[in-house]
Structure 1
Amino acid sequence: MKRLLILGGLAALIGLGAQTRAQATTTLQAPAQPAESTQPAAEAITPDSSRDILLAVANPLSAPPARAGSSLIGYASSYYGAGQKAAVRMQAIKQRYNLREVSSWPITSLGLYCAVLQPAPGVSRDELVSALADDDGVELVQPVQEFSVFSANAADKHTPLSSYNDPYVDMQRGFIATDAASAQAVTQGRGVVVAVVDTGVDTRHPDLKARILDVHDLVGETQAMPGSDSHGTEVAGIIAAGSNNHQGIVGMAPKAMLSIYKACWYAPTVGATARCNTFTLAKALAAINNSSARVVNLSLGGPADPLLSKMLLHLVKQGRIVIAAMPPNGQLDGFPNDVPGVLVVRSSGAGTVMPGVLSAPGDDILTTQPNGRYDFTSGSSMATAHVSGTAALLLSLSPSMDAGALRDLLQRTSKVSDGQLQVNAGAAVDALSPSRRSN
């Protein structure tokens, strides 16, 4: 396998739009819900990978158990192992370069055995990566890089709608602009699983608890802290919040199921953007490789990353629809937007329209928040979630549709709404199956 090398220090992080986060003046509560008891806040998990490297050696062994995800906190896991040759080779490299192992695991889909390693104090990470790239026993070496989820400030706008018994549906600008109600008269996404790689999600939220299939914590082994998982909760609500349940809002695909992959965490600083890194994202993609998810939502981004790109391309080749957010600088040369076959989404009206990039509502989007709340938020993360939900609707009608056909359909049926050309779920569903009725 050709060796890959990234030189240079830890790449600069990317955030979408403004990196501060502000709540709307009025925070909406789930109607008629009893107050839930709260647990004392746990100490924030803030892994420091600024000196870590990721190294892989060839691992020609039979597949281990399919479960993926030894945690970033606690590291070692019984679910991961290596063939004898790979283990011996990795041990020799660690001894030769005086490296401390943080964690290790096989990636069976790529035939690699990976380890997160730390150089000895005083050793330059860049120089070490360069030296390891010339080592015949090394298949891949790179810094452990960091990534950001994409969010921005919010405002208080609303558009009236009265088609559902969900009390806040008339304030869902994205739901209205994409004509989701018309699409849901035909399909609501039943039978489609959407993987959300993000922070965690408030699994007890009344609009989400019936839509969550499973949860994978790839950051830590502590109890989940719903109050700290706002970004993932926002994305999940846009995709698949329940409908006609007398609760809050309506998701784009309210009968789809969600698989949650918590690969990002918040620093303890007020207003901090949630972060992920190569290690946690690799664990998420490895777990998705063995899942039933047809849609993968990546409302995050960062620098180019050889390992993550290989893993994501493998998922694309499996026929999964991967939908990612365009960063605020409009550049598509970083992960995950640089992977062929990934559908990239921008927030309507944000920057220059680019060929092949889909547009969807991303400003002032009302969605779910931790602790049973609702609020407005903005960013291409939210635009991406609208497209992921739309993809679930279309795949429920045409399960064999591939990413290219889906992109072409969404571009062909996009319509002008609020002065912007953007994805229209109603038109896409009608073009795909004009005579079908909702189930």
Structure 2
Amino acid sequence: MIRTFFLSLALMMACALPGTARGAEAAGGDRILVMLRLPPTHFRASGGYGGGYGDSMGRSQAMRQARRIARDHHLTLVTDWMMPVIDLDCFVMRLPAGIAPEKMAEEVSQDPAVAWSQPMHDYRTLSAQAGHDDPLYPAQPATTLWHLDSLHRLATGRGVTVAVIDSGIDARHPDLAGQIKGNLNFVAGRPLIPERHGTAVAGIIAARADNRAGIVGIAPAARLLGLRACWQSDAGTAAATCDSLSLAKALHYAIDRRAAIINLSLGGPPDRLLATLLDAGMMRGATVVAAYDPHLPDGGFPASHSGVFAVSGGPIPARRPVYIAPARDIPAPRPGGGWTLVEGTSYAAAHVSGLIALLEEAQGHRQGRPRLVLAGGGYIDALATVRGKAVGCDGPCPAPLAAASRD
């Protein structure tokens, strides 16, 4: 059995070798391998690497069979590679769009002329993935908990605009330079300045990747619309204050500019004007993400508003779905070019906004409410979400995060 396994492995690799006498083919999911037995009475090995048919009748017979099989199953004959050591000729056939390779291989294997058929598999060397070269990347909880390396092989948020309605963003920060497509101020009587909360939230969502500085955003190829509606109340903390009017102006601008995602890492009392704007934005296809405040009824507003993605840093008793994302010991940029550790559901919400940006790209920017896959208890299975699976993570699921209070 062991010998059969290695023989099959060698066969699959040989069929995928580039530079064959009849053309090079890369491995992929749209092809199957079809094994035909070499005609023993007509085959004569030549001195070439792949062997050869010494009798044209034998060669013609095999090709006729292969063409028939391809025709019967609506396949395209691509190339073949003879393997006289195991008395087989390996034919590569391309499938029509939308056909599962496993199903077609099983179907073709029923043909009496076929020794067996199988999907064309992909193989990779088993070297460790180095990940991003940003120095704080290994310290980011999402690197491990959300399998960020794997996520970024699926999507990076390219083509997605995230509106960050918050305090001022430092657009010149090394992790944010070039990431901000607009940086506007909706706070009356206060000049636009970089502030801690908005800068940290923006960095968690979309900090530049592979710039050998700081962190990597959840969606590093997304672009941010910085909309300052809050102002830092104390230079020594990240705490910021907003009002209904500043938030309404920023929210209206985000909706009018068709931002795909609107991040609101803030909370307060219910507000009719803001609720009306939120409804209008979601009717136009925007996804709204808000931080859950455990100290306010139902998590505070806008987290309590119907249709809004409410995000916490740990399990909480709630009457409606609340998603859980990293919220403690998060490295994030701070104004002036440095980095700091932040904590709170503000930053959990930023993680989810970045994740939805990845999902937007992965799904081809389709309209409709995003679907976040849960690993259990409200914890998001980020990899399954972006892959579009209905089940939890591959392998052991990430350990739950400890609960954190909102910042």
Change (3 A) 1:354 1:345: farther
Q: After superposition, give the CA deviation of every residue in 1:364-400 in whole Å (9 maximum; x if it has no partner).
A: 1111111111111110011000000000000112212
1:209 pairs with 2:161: no
Give the number of the structure whose alpha-carbon radius of gyration is greater.
Answer: 2
Change (3 A) 1:306 1:269: same
Counterpart in the other structure of 1:172: 140
SS in 2 for 1:176: helix
Match of 2:321 among 342, 345, 356: 356
Q: What is the root-mean-square deviation of aligned Cα atoms in Å?
A: 2.3
Deviation at 1:338, TM superposition (A): 3.1
Deviation at 1:337, TM superposition (A): 2.2
Counterpart in the other structure of 2:149: 181
Q: After superposition, give the CA deviation of every residue in 1:199-233 in whole Å (9 maximum; x if it has no partner).
A: 0101100110111010110014665322xx10001
| Whole-angstrom distance in 1 between the partners of 2:279 and 2:152 | 31
1:286 pairs with 2:252: yes
Report if the CA contact (8 A) 1:239-1:386 is conserved: yes
1:422 pairs with 2:383: no
The AA in structure 1 aligned to 2:184 is H
Counterpart in the other structure of 1:374: 339
Greater relative contact order: 1 or 2 (C-alpha under 8 angstroms, separation 6 or more)?
A: 1
| Whole-angstrom distance in 1 between the partners of 2:390 and 2:184 | 35
Change (3 A) 1:174 1:233: same
Percent identity (aligned): 37
Q: How does 1:390-429 map to 2 (within 5 A)?
A: 390-398=355-363, 399-403=365-369, 406=370, 409-410=371-372, 413-415=373-375, 422-429=379-386
Structure with the larger helix share: 2
Q: After superposition, give the CA deviation of every residue in 1:281-331 in whole Å (9 maximum; x if it has no partner).
A: 111111112113100000001001111111111101111000011002263
Deviation at 1:344, TM superposition (A): 0.6
Change (3 A) 1:433 1:205: farther
| Whole-angstrom distance in 2 between the partners of 1:357 and 1:225 | 33
Counterpart in the other structure of 1:95: none
1:237 pairs with 2:168: no
Change (3 A) 1:276 1:414: same
Match of 2:304 among 338, 348, 353: 338
Aligned length: 262
| Whole-angstrom distance in 2 between the partners of 1:432 and 1:290 | 33
TM-score (norm 2): 0.61
Deviation at 1:425, TM superposition (A): 2.0
SS in 1 for 2:297: coil
Deviation at 1:271, TM superposition (A): 3.9
Change (3 A) 1:270 1:369: closer
Deviates more, 1:375-384 or 1:166-175: 166-175
Report if the CA contact (8 A) 2:185-2:191 is conserved: no
SS in 1 for 2:134: coil
Counterpart in the other structure of 1:385: 350
| Whole-angstrom distance in 2 between the partners of 1:268 and 1:394 | 36
| Whole-angstrom distance in 2 between the partners of 1:421 and 1:284 | 30
Counterpart in the other structure of 2:164: 196
| Whole-angstrom distance in 2 between the partners of 1:374 and 1:205 | 10
Report if the CA contact (8 A) 2:293-2:299 is conserved: no
| Whole-angstrom distance in 1 between the partners of 2:355 and 2:348 | 11
The AA in structure 1 aligned to 2:374 is S
1:320 pairs with 2:277: no
Report if the CA contact (8 A) 1:361-1:422 is conserved: no
Deviation at 1:429, TM superposition (A): 1.4
Q: How does 1:42-191 map to 2 (within 5 A)?
A: 162-191=130-159
| Whole-angstrom distance in 2 between the partners of 1:213 and 1:392 | 15
| Whole-angstrom distance in 2 between the partners of 1:330 and 1:426 | 31
The AA in structure 2 aligned to 1:429 is V
Q: 5+ unaligned residues in a row in structure 2: which ranges?
A: 1-128, 392-407
| Whole-angstrom distance in 1 between the partners of 2:287 and 2:254 | 12
